Structure 1
């Protein structure tokens, strides 16, 4: 059985990474990485 606190932290980190990926996709600040 998984720890609920650990599961909550995992979900929070996953949603954080998803938000970061979305912001990078909609706002490409790195011009060099797109070349």
Structure 2
């Protein structure tokens, strides 16, 4: 899974991906919570 830096770069180049971005961040936070 990519780190948040890659996600932010994608968002900067393609703002239409906001919904996908939110989903990725949600998955990322879940992964952090499992640790």
Bin the TM-score by the shorter chain: 0.5 to 0.7
**Structure number with bigger Rg:** 1
SS of 1:14's equivalent in the other structure is: helix
> Which structure's residues are more often helix, by fraction?
2
Structure 1: 4+ residue segments shifted above 3 A:
none
Q: Which ranges of structure 2 fall in alignment gaps of 5 or more residues?
A: 1-13
* Structure 1 residue ranges without an equivalent (≥5): 22-35
TM-score by length of 1: 0.55
**Structure with more contact order per residue of length (Cα contacts < 8 Å, sep ≥ 6):** 2
Alignment size in residue pairs: 21
TM-score if structure 2 supplies the norm length? 0.55
